[in-house]
Amino acid sequence: MPIDLHTHSTTSDGTDTPAELLRAAAHAGVDTVALTDHDTTAGWREAAAALPAGMRLVPGVEWSCVSSDGRGGYCSVHLLGYLFDPESPALVAEQARLRAERRKRLRLMAMRMAEDHLPIDTEGLLAGLPEDSSAGRPHLARALIAAGVVATVDQAFAEYLNTGGRYYLARVDTPVERAIEMITAAGGVTVMAHAFARTRGSVVSPRVIAELADRGLTGLEVDHPDHDPAARVELRMLAAEHGLLVTGASDYHGTNKSVKIGQERTADDVFAELVARSTGTPVITGESAT
Ligand code: AMP
Ligand code: FE
Ligand code: FE
Ligand code: ZN
């Protein structure tokens, strides 16, 4: 029963619509998929409506958070939330704030690029995003490709979009402890995404993981394409030490990344445990057409 618990659709920075994403999953033989768009649950409805018979949809989110790095500074943390009540008022308000923050930041980055004579149509870019979707740097990467400035998303990041680069602007993300509290209060479970993906920038120290486990974090995403074998060993040991569940997932983004859906997976018993610990919203099962 292949289970992939981290994917992105056009509701954030993936290139497949929720319906296309589920078709890609079915084609790859994945029967359980979590839709985890950045800072939005707006794709859940389309995904549920398009769910092929026999497949299971795990409603989720990947929440943009900020954390102490455990060395006196701060770093970005992505928190996966699953099976929470999407109408929880605190959560709805904070995610709406984050999406507004994302649009404002993308507009400012695009304006800086336009000032440097990069051919970016800022307003057209923002107008083309679906309602309640999350704007991100991959959208700017696509605009640079469309304008013929770069050939690939990777090149766009390397030359224009990487953290700390000329056009990069930070966002005001949610403190990770707050996001854990909000998802837990809404009946969901939480898994820290790609915690040791060191190529993306600074990452949390083991002590921070211990502290977040004390505050209710449910699991660690260990098997992720951005984790090398050493990072996986380290994270598996930390998970065992602090009683955290171990998940695996592809972080599929359609053609914005080269990973394939189902490339990394979560074990059946771990998935059952995540479901058993959540009360906010059920796993959705595709009914056979009658
Ligand atoms: P943002 O959310 O706007 O800060 O952009 C971060 C997103 O960009 C991540 O969620 C990834 O999907 C994507 N990303 C980051 N680095 C790269 C890269 N080198 N190539 C392709 N996509 C990337
Ligand atoms: Fe992304
Ligand atoms: Fe992420
Ligand atoms: Zn992701």
What CA–CA distance (Å, rounded) separates 215 from 209? 10
At 255, phi and psi to the nearest 5? -85, 5
Minimum CA distance residue for ligand 1 atom 5: 137
What pLDDT, on a 0 to 100 scale, did the predictor assign at position 289? 53
Tens digit of pLDDT for each residue in 27-39? 999 999 999 999 9
Atom of ligand 1 nearest to the CA of 158: 19
Tens digit of pLDDT for each residue in 229-243? 999 999 999 999 999
Average of per-residue pLDDT across 249-261? 97
Percent of the residues in the chain that have a pLDDT greater than 70, as a whole number: 99
Average of per-residue pLDDT across 268-279? 98
**pTM score:** 0.97
Residue 39: which residues within 8 A CB-CB, separation 6 or more?
A: 12, 61, 62, 63, 64, 95, 98, 99, 102, 134
Tens digit of pLDDT for each residue in 190-220? 999 999 999 988 999 999 999 999 999 999 9
What pLDDT, on a 0 to 100 scale, did the predictor assign at position 123? 86
Look at residue 290 and tell me whether its pLDDT is greater than 60: no
- Spell out a b/e string for 28-62, using b for 16 or more CB atoms within 10 Å of the CB, else e: bebbbbbbbbbbbbbbbebbeebbbeebbbbbbbb
What pLDDT, on a 0 to 100 scale, did the predictor assign at position 200? 86
Average of per-residue pLDDT across 236-262? 98
Ligand 1 neighbourhood includes 56 CB (under 6 angstroms): no
Ligand nearest to the CA of 200: 1
Mean pLDDT of all residues belonging to the chain: 96
Look at residue 10 and tell me whether its pLDDT is greater than 60: yes
Minimum CA distance residue for ligand 1 atom 14: 138
Ligand 1 neighbourhood includes 268 CB (under 6 angstroms): no
Ligand 1 neighbourhood includes 153 CB (under 6 angstroms): yes
Burial class (CB in 10 A: 0-12, 13-18, 19+), 234: middle
Which candidate, 260, 170, 240, 183, places its Cα nearest to that of 217? 183
Beta-bridge partner residues of 76: 66
What CA–CA distance (Å, rounded) separates 133 from 204? 28
Rounded to the nearest angstrom, the distance between the alpha carbon of 14 and the centre of ligand 2 is 7
What pLDDT, on a 0 to 100 scale, did the predictor assign at position 166? 95
What pLDDT, on a 0 to 100 scale, did the predictor assign at position 122? 84
**Greater model confidence, 11 or 130:** 11
Tens digit of pLDDT for each residue in 37-86? 999 999 999 999 999 999 999 999 999 999 999 999 999 999 999 999 99
Tens digit of pLDDT for each residue in 114-146? 999 998 988 888 999 998 999 999 999 999 999
Q: What confidence category does residue 288 fall into, taking pLDDT thresholds of 50, 70 and 90? A: low
How, if at all, do strands 189-192 and 245-248 pair?
unpaired
Ligand nearest to the CA of 194: 3
